[in-house]
Amino acid sequence: MAQRVVITGLGVVSPIGIGIGQFWKSALEGRSGVSAIESFDPFPIEGYRSRVAGRVLHFDPAQFLAPAQAERVDRYAQFALVAAKEAVADSGLRLEMERPHRVGVIVGAGMGGMVMGEREITQLYQQRKPHRVHPNFIPVITLNSASGIVAMQFGAKGPNLTISTACSSSAHAVGQALNCIRNGQADVVIAVGADASITPLVFAGFCSLRALSTRFNDRPASASRPFDRNRDGFVMGEGAGALVLESLSHARRRKARMYAEVAGYAATSEAYHMVIPREDGTEVAATIRLALKDAGIAPSQVDYVNAHATATPIGDAVEIKAIKDVFKSRANRLLINATKSLIGHTLGAAGAIGTIVSALAIETGQIHPTVNYDDPDPACALPGISKSVQERPIRVALMNAFGFGSNNAAVVLKKLSR
> CA 81, 86, 90: angle at the middle one, nearest 5?
145
308 is catalytic: yes
213 and 340 in contact (C-beta within 8 Å)?
A: no
Quick one: the chain helix, strand, coil %, rounded to 5? 40, 20, 35
Instruction: Given the residues 180, 345, 368, 380, select the one marked as catalytic.
Output: 345
131 is catalytic: no
**What radius of gyration, in Å, describes the C-alpha atoms of the chain?**
20
Instruction: Given the residues 207, 308, 368, 380, select the one marked as catalytic.
Output: 308
Using CA atoms, how far residue 401 sits from 112, 132, 194, 237, 395, in Å, is: 18, 40, 14, 15, 20
DSSP 235-288: -BB-EEEEEEEEEHHHHHHTT----EEEEEEEEEE--S-SSPPPTT-HHHHHHH
Instruction: Given the residues 167, 180, 207, 380, select the one marked as catalytic.
Output: 167
167 is catalytic: yes
SS3 of residue 13 by DSSP: strand
Which neighbouring-strand residues pair with 305?
Answer: 336, 398
- Three-class HEC string of 86-135: HHHHHHCCCHHHCCHHHEEEEEECCCCCHHHHHHHHHHHHHHCCHHHCCC
How buried is residue 214: exposed, middle or buried, by Cβ count under 10 Å (0-12/13-18/19+)? middle
CB atoms under 10 Å from CB of 182, counted, come to: 17
- Is the peptide bond between 42 and the residue preceding it cis, with omega within 30 degrees of 0? yes
Question: Which of 33, 113, 105 shows the shortest CA–CA distance to 75?
Answer: 113
Burial letters for 137-166: b for 16+ Cβ neighbours within 10 Å, e otherwise? beebbbbbbbbbbbbebbebebbbbbbbbb
DSSP annotation of 417 reads P
177 and 245 in contact (C-beta within 8 Å)?
A: yes
341 and 225 in contact (C-beta within 8 Å)?
A: yes
Which residues are part of the catalytic machinery?
Answer: 167, 308, 345
